A and B are shown apart, each in its own frame.
Chain A
């Protein structure tokens, strides 16, 4: 018997109907929901600082409430999610309340132990440097500004939670793919040193972790994916030998083919032959893809290598404040006028002695996504763009962004957009959303830590 896992959420902010439709029509054994991007944990850490009962992905509770009627019918369904964020216990308490309100009794397990903040200083003293993976700098240089430090736990505590009979597993930070690997290890009883099977399971988890990105979202030939508005979220139908078919529920939009799957297999990957997770070093170069039916691709993985002895750690530290504002600048010569506006803001701040340390003017519409790269390409006429002159579009979005460790400097910056509506060049419009908001910047510090000093914990939620 094959085992079916579907992922109904690719990040916090993903479509709220997707998990419901996937659970309803996917014939799933397990529904996974993935909420945590690189910096989500630090935002949740700040929320928990303000409120000890906060610090998890609140969207999950709404999704759970809507899943309740489906779960009542599909009694065998398990749900595995990292919605717990910085506070999986609080998330479990609230999830219990939601289920109770809907008359459901489900066993909830909490996976924790990823939060290293309580032990961070002790670990630093013991000689674990948490050196920055990119720069090599020791964490001591920014220690006083650190707000969160979480190890990416693996699949094992998730499998353990399922062994304890959990219907709903709520975790803190775990490797995204492990949300899928855990249930597969538990169901098939694969050995924890069977690197090929762990690799195959990791390929499955990696392919579905970003939701619709495997089923037509972001696809270069997206025009051929019907009804993306109703895109089906991905399901892996896994056999006991680790081979699986990637598909989506019937009567949904999007597409599953070798192009969509290959694009997603390499998404956010370094060396395809060595994709590191806490569970295994997966080998994506050993994967073969075969279209076996409409919107069905068979995925076979032939190799995997032993896991390393480190957990990756995601650390965030305070890095001042930033704000970003926009105005629309209409032509002729819209791009040049946008630059004039940007210069005006800079000059006014300079005269006020409030020039932010980092300051960027972008004229969106001129290739700002990759500044300077497209400049070398031959200008192409814009047949769909009436009013364009040569390479100059009829209007431009001016975007100005500033960052500084002094909050008052960024607050002052945020007040310099409105005056341009009357004192700048003609054609400035689109100032309708008020002053840009000032946000705290949390910078990312990737590191490794010896697995021996991290203890994953599994606890059944006790009413």
Chain B
């Protein structure tokens, strides 16, 4: 097996994003316990901040919701003014979750335990 093989985050998680004024939240939900442990370890606030750096977040906070196998990220000042003022087509951060789920990650060794197929 090629250790360097990459997979999209969407193989092991789903999610949804929305706005709060000029801030956005991005929820990432693992399909399995193994996936959640991987996300908790690897998908840090720093990693997410770096990924979204072109949007210029002033800060990224991460909250854990183990009951949902979920991580919730709050990206501050990332919407170029938000629903009222932003000139961008996506004023409300609706697309941020799908963007994060496209992030390429190194295929974890126990990848098979993380996919949706592995979820009961």
Contact = CB atoms under 8 A, between A and B. Distances in A.
Interface of A: 37-39, 133-134, 218-221, 259, 262-273, 284-289, 316, 319, 322, 324, 358-360, 362, 364, 368-375, 377-378, 399, 401-403, 441-444, 446
A271 B74 CA distance: 8
Nearest to A445: B21
Interface in B45-94: 51-52, 54-55, 61, 63-70, 72, 74, 77, 81-85, 87-90, 94
Contacts of B90: 368-370
A370 B99 contact: yes
**Chain B CB within 10 Å, residue with most, of A38, A218, A266, A360:** A266
A38 B83 contact: yes
A39 B18 contact: no
B83 A444 contact: yes
A324 B29 CA distance: 35
Contacts of B42: none
B63 A319 contact: no
Chain B interface mostly: mixed
B91 to A, nearest CB: 10
Contact of A259 (B14, B52, B94): B14
Contacts of A369: 88-90, 94-95, 99
**Chain B CB within 10 Å, residue with most, of A264, A359, A371:** A371
Given A369-B95, A378-B104, A221 B84 contact: no
A364 B98 CA distance: 16
A374 B16 contact: no
Given A371-B88, A444-B84, A268 B14 contact: no
A379 to B, nearest CB: 12
A272 B20 contact: no
Nearest to B76: A134
Q: How large is the interface on B (under 10, 10 to 19, 20 to 34, 35 or more residues)?
A: 35 or more
Nearest to A324: B87
A263 B102 contact: no
Contacts of B94: 369
Interface of B: 10, 14-16, 18-23, 25, 27, 29, 51-52, 54-55, 61, 63-70, 72, 74, 77, 81-85, 87-90, 94-99, 101-102, 104, 116
A113 B3 CA distance: 62
B88 A362 contact: yes
Contacts of A375: 54
Contact of B21 (A134, A220, A263, A319): A134
Contacts of A273: 63, 65
Contact of B54 (A133, A270, A371, A443): A371
A264 B17 CA distance: 9
Contact of B51 (A220, A266, A359, A373): A373
Given A38-B83, A443-B84, A267 B27 contact: yes
A288 B67 contact: yes
A446 B102 CA distance: 32
A204 B69 CA distance: 20
A221 to B, nearest CB: 7
A399 B91 CA distance: 14
**Chain B CB within 10 Å, residue with most, of A268, A402, A444:** A268
Contacts of A316: 84
B101 A266 contact: no
A263 B52 contact: no
Contacts of B77: 134
A319 B101 contact: no
B67 A268 contact: no
